[in-house]
Amino acid sequence: MRPIRRLLPHPWLTTVLTLVWLLLNNTLSPGHVLLGLVLGWLIPLLSLRFWPDTVHFHHPLALLRFIGRVLWDILVANLNVAQLILGKPERLRPGFFAIPLDLETELAISLLANTVSLTPGTLSVELSPDRRTLFVHGMDVPDPAATCAEIKLRYEAPLKEVFEP
């Protein structure tokens, strides 16, 4: 392991932790910037066993586009689910379906599972032990195969591009 890697094993985690510290304190004073940097450097070092893999981002722009798309979809999801709740419950067509995964890294899979849960009418409920299949419950899915294909195209493909090119 190169010395820089040993001193700073997770540069992204350090950045995020520092930003969270500054947001928590709602300040940009030099003292807090310094304290945030120290915490952001120490916490990944002390919790090294929890983060065996280093995270690599490959297309920052694709990640931003993905975040924008997910935020928009969350808005639509909320209106959609509100409409389903207010409509007749008997008209719902709920059901489970399986999504075969192309993603392999833990971070990408958990991001996909979270995204699925936050977006229209779907909720991830189980990941198979071999991490090849994600099981999803849909609130109103007339055509599970189409929903599955849409999730793969809309969320899994960009995540794969960003984390596992």
Long-range contacts made by residues 58-67, C-beta under 8 angstroms, separation at least 24?
58/161, 58/162, 58/163, 58/165, 59/161, 59/162, 59/165, 62/158, 62/161, 62/162, 63/158, 63/162, 65/158, 66/155, 66/158, 66/159, 66/162
Q: Whose Cβ is closer to other proteins: residue 79's or residue 153's? A: 79
Q: Do 76 and 31 contact (CB within 8 A), yes or no?
A: no
Rounded to a whole number of angstroms, the minimum distance from the CB of residue 99 to other proteins is 9
* 14: three-class secondary structure by DSSP: helix
Rounded to a whole number of angstroms, the minimum distance from the CB of residue 17 to other proteins is 12
Binding region for other proteins (CB under 8 A): 20, 23-24, 26, 74-75, 77-79, 81-82, 84-86, 89-90, 92-98, 113-114, 116-118, 121, 123-126, 128, 133, 135-137, 139, 144
Q: Whose Cβ is closer to other proteins: residue 3's or residue 142's? A: 142
Q: Whose Cβ is closer to other proteins: residue 19's or residue 45's? A: 19
Rounded to a whole number of angstroms, the minimum distance from the CB of residue 83 to other proteins is 9
Q: Whose Cβ is closer to other proteins: residue 3's or residue 129's? A: 129
List the structure tokens of 33: 């910037």
CA distance 104 to 59: 17
Rounded to a whole number of angstroms, the minimum distance from the CB of residue 96 to other proteins is 4
